[in-house]
Chains A and B, each alone.
Chain A
């Protein structure tokens, strides 16, 4: 059955979308900051994995830790040093700030790495799995599974760790959290750092799948946007469901109506949801 293949394609794609979007969703939901830098963070993670593999022979899957760690540091510094100064301002101000920072970082990457496309070519790629008539590309499936694990890990951290509860508390009520002794400024920086960490880790995973270039950053940002609106802001399960829904809609849409309409369909879905469920499929309840 060809539909199983189409479904499998959609699930794999959706898992990757979820991983790209979850950090963006977290930052938007907790800090009320629309982080335009997110797409560029993803690409930076991919570059770290690329250079790690080409020059040092580090497998891109291991680079998740390196890219995640570096991006966490960058994210923390950006929030603590810059965004925190205007974090209470209307959302347009923070959006403009991250937009400006994105122009600087993205163009610096073009200067440093050029806009040429690069790709990680694994010396020993995983073979494709065949489940009856369904082909599952090995590396993509592995990347998707890791993406799910990472996302699940983030969910556990938010639910069960002290810092995670503090983040959720800030998301629920900034003032109340502050009164309870939560250092809101630091939690903001940690949250932004985690958002960047997830972007960097997603980038490392994607480096074995997609061509890498600074100019692909807006594409990742656009996907993250749609996933957040579909799934609901600031919740890990929301990003997960939003990502999977987007992947499946795109996959079936492209199969039924032709690939050039896949994008149109995902935006139609976005519009419909904005009318029917403006809070996303999971709404605003699922804080974790």
Chain B
């Protein structure tokens, strides 16, 4: 959108407000198209919880400091019902009709990529809280920034830990959901395995909405893997986990991405969750001090616990971090002008509760060190990096 239009809208909004009030600054409007209903709604609601906590904190503190004025924030949510084409339309509508200043991307790599062309066209700085695949950021776009590091930063440390601790693990079976992120990370795992001379004895995909994995598990049994690596979302993975044990398979290592970081996965699989390893971009056990509104991981965890009565997972934390990072950039820019905020985001180099934040050439964050964890005693325990390690990696029989 041309800048003069935003200015015109801002002036109009200011004129319509009664003058002389201390809190008369118009709100900074941030558009958030989310899958609040439909198959991706658990993930969409996580993002919403993260944004809500951040916005609440900001408004409690009086707003975001822009130059010498404080502006409250307002997040405009629109449900796109887990339908990616509708996410793109929604993003455009938020920019043209709701006249938002900034945008939070829709959920996941696929939708974030699709919507990024819209925000690029209108020059609206956009933060993607849940898009990790490098294909999202390779389009040369200038207004898109992502808070997940590339997929390889998850599979590489995992492969290091497993091969470093157990030389008997040589055969890997990979089962991937045929979907942008789950397939991309499975392929990354294949590369990580092959570069360490592990033999990939099976690589199969399953269709979205698959209700039964017994054939794939039977195939796995025939391939005799030491390491099963399965990708998908909570429902897929809890079903796969159950069917692995249904057929008496008990490999040394079972890794699943992304699901085990969510408490829903542990609740859904019960005892079978124990021993499952995974990696994520953040974990409540990490410890960072930051310049952001939350101040530190400990303070963030406390604020989360107070509002939601539970521990935050990485998707929830990433959404809160997306807000906190955007806030830092606005404060540094000292203006709401989209170009200035974009430049501030691009040059950001700060500590936050979420980790060190610096966006690389493509706009994707490069400075996180994603923790590897394993579920032990019904809780995800960090096994890497060393600095925040809670437990040692445990191998099955």
Q: Please give the residue numbers on chain A whose beta carbons come within 8 Å of chain B beta carbons, in ascending order.
A: 2, 5-6, 9, 12-13, 107, 110, 114-119, 121, 128, 130, 135, 137, 140, 209-211, 213, 215-216, 219, 223, 250-255, 258-264
Given contacts A260-B204, A262-B210, are A117 and B235 in contact (CB under 8 A)? yes
Give, as a whole number of angstroms, the nearest-CB distance from B245 to chain A. Answer: 8
A6 touches B215 (CB 8 A): yes
Chain A residues in 8 Å Cβ range of B269: 119, 121
Interchain CB contact under 8 A, A259 and B41: no
5 contacts between A and B (CB under 8 A): A110-B37, A130-B248, A219-B209, A254-B215, A262-B210
Measured CB to CB, the nearest residue on chain A to B42 is A116
B219 touches A255 (CB 8 A): yes
Taking the complex as formed, is B264 at the interface, i.e. its CB lies under 8 A from any CB of chain A?
yes
Name the residue among A9, A128, A216, A252 with the largest chain B CB count within 10 angstroms. A9
- Contact A2–B218 (Cβ < 8 Å): yes
Which residues of B are found within 8 Å of A118, using beta-carbon distances? 267-268
Residues of B within 8 A of A (CB): 37-39, 41-42, 45, 175, 178, 204-207, 209-216, 218-219, 221-222, 234-235, 238-239, 242-243, 246-248, 264, 267-271
B238/A119 in contact, CB under 8 A: yes
What is the CA–CA distance of A135 and B250 in the complex, to the nearest angstrom? 13
CB distance from B238 to the nearest CB of A (A): 6
CB distance from A160 to the nearest CB of B (A): 34
| Assembly CA distance A118 to B52 (angstroms) | 25
Question: A219, A255, A260: which contacts B218 (Cβ < 8 A)?
Answer: A255
Query: What 9 A-B pairs come out closest when comparing CB atoms?
Result: A254-B215, A137-B246, A121-B270, A9-B214, A259-B206, A115-B41, A119-B268, A211-B235, A260-B205
Residue from the list B209, B219, B248, B268 in contact with A117, Cβ < 8 A: B268
Q: Is the interface of B mostly helix, strand, loop or mixed?
A: helix
Q: Apart from A119-B267, A210-B239, A215-B41, what 8 extra A-B contacts exist at CB < 8 Å?
A: A121-B270, A128-B248, A130-B248, A211-B234, A216-B235, A253-B215, A258-B204, A262-B207
Q: Is the CB of A13 within 8 A of B270?
A: no
Contacting pair A250 B205 (CB below 8 A): no
Q: How far is the CB of B181 from chain A (nearest CB, A)?
A: 16
**Which residues of A sit under 8 angstroms from B218, Cβ to Cβ?**
2, 5-6, 9, 255
Q: Which residues of B contact A254 (CB under 8 A)?
A: 215-216
- Given A5-B218, A6-B215, A9-B215: A211 touches B209 (CB 8 Å cut-off): no
Name the B residues within 8 Å of A219 (CB-CB).
209, 211
Q: Quick one: which of B37, B205, B213, B235 has the most chain A CB within 10 A? A: B235
Nearest B residue to A123, CB-CB = B270
Residues of chain A lying within 8 A (CB to CB) of residue B242: 209
Give the residues in chain B near A263, CB-CB below 8 Å. Answer: 207, 209-210
Bound: A119/B272 CA distance, A: 12
With A9-B214, A119-B268 known to touch, is A259 a contact of B204 (CB < 8 Å)?
yes
Report the bound CA distance from A215 to B264 in whole Å.
16
Q: How distant is the Cα of A9 from the Cα of B218 in the complex, in angstroms?
A: 9
Task: Chain A residues near B238: list those with CB within 8 A.
Answer: 117, 119, 211
User: Contact check: which of B178, B215, B239 meets A250 at CB < 8 Å?
Assistant: B215
B39 surroundings in chain A (CB, below 8 A): 115, 215
Determine the residue in chain A with the shortest Cβ distance to B263: A116
Do B37 and A107 touch across chains, with their CB atoms under 8 A apart?
yes
Q: Bound state CA distance, A110 and B36, in angstroms?
A: 10
Which of B205, B239, B243, B247: most chain A CB closer than 10 A?
A: B247
Q: Which of A117, A140, A261 has the most B CB atoms < 10 Å from its CB?
A: A117
Whether A13 pairs with B212 at a CB distance below 8 angstroms is: yes
Contacts of B239 in A (CB 8 A): 210-211
Among A2, A128, A135, A213, contact of B222 (Cβ-Cβ < 8 Å) = A2
Residue of B38, B210, B213, B248 touching A135 (CB-CB under 8 A): B248
* Nearest CB of A to B107, in Å: 13
User: How far is the CB of A107 from the nearest CB of chain B, in Å?
Assistant: 7
Known A121-B270, A135-B248, A258-B204; contact A251-B215, beta-carbon cutoff 8 A: yes
Cα A267 to Cα B247 in complex, Å, equals 27
Inter-chain contacts of A117 with B (CB < 8 A): 42, 234-235, 238, 264, 268
Chain B residues in 8 Å Cβ range of A13: 212, 214
Q: What is the bound-complex CA distance between A140 and B245, given in angstroms? A: 12
Complex Cα–Cα for A2 and B309 (A): 48
Known: A130-B248, A137-B246. A110 touches B234 (CB 8 A): no
Closest Cβ of chain A to B161, distance in Å, is 28
Chain A CB within 10 Å, residue with most, of B211, B247, B267:
B211
**Which of chain A's residues has its CB closest to B246's CB?**
A137
Kindly provide the distance from the CB of B269 to the nearest chain A CB, expressed in whole angstroms: 7
- Residue contact A215 to B246, C-beta cutoff 8 Å: no
Q: What is the CA–CA distance of A114 and B211 in the complex, to the nearest angstrom?
A: 20
